[in-house]
Amino acid sequence: MLEGVLAYIGIGSNLGDSPQICKNAIRHLSHVPDVKLERVSSLYKTEPVIDSPADSYNIEELKDQNRFINAVAEIRTGLPARSLLELLMRIEMQMGRVRTYTGAPRIIDLDLLLYGQEVIQEEGLIVPHPQMHKRRFVLDPICEIASYVIHPGFGVSMRGLRDRLGEGQEVEIYNS
């Protein structure tokens, strides 16, 4: 049995065959030494969420992109948080992710949402994910598999965070 930390990974894609791409990312995670895939949410179809982009970005271009397919995976890992983040970035790169600008369409996006109950604020690594409590496309799938998990920064369960969200973010289970 692998000992270690329970971590939660956000998975998303809105380019190509997004459902299959998300499943491939999950398969990549399941084959990594020091990572045990515990549970995976259903796939969810979600509208893109536009965070305040810089003035140089065309807001209409950001709004006019494909819907995302999203999921959340619960893993147990012996890797330190920084190494886990680097692993996620390597998987993204192997799957063809090219980073262009914030909010751009992407073939795959793997986000470290939670790493145990740790709060980490380092250059290039912030855990819990700083926007997760505002995003239904994260909270709906994480609530499906771990609604009881407490956000270490707020002391509120994932269900509590989701219940506090207002309307406006369309999220539905993806049925292939």
Which residues are known to be catalytic?
97, 106, 109, 111
The span from the CA of 97 to the CA of 86, in Å, is 14
| Crossing angle of helices 81-94 and 18-30, rounded to 10° | 130
DSSP state letters, 57-84 = S-HHHHHTSPPEEEEEEEEEE-S-HHHH
Three-state DSSP at 99 gives: coil
| Residue 161 parent element (H or E) | helix 158-164
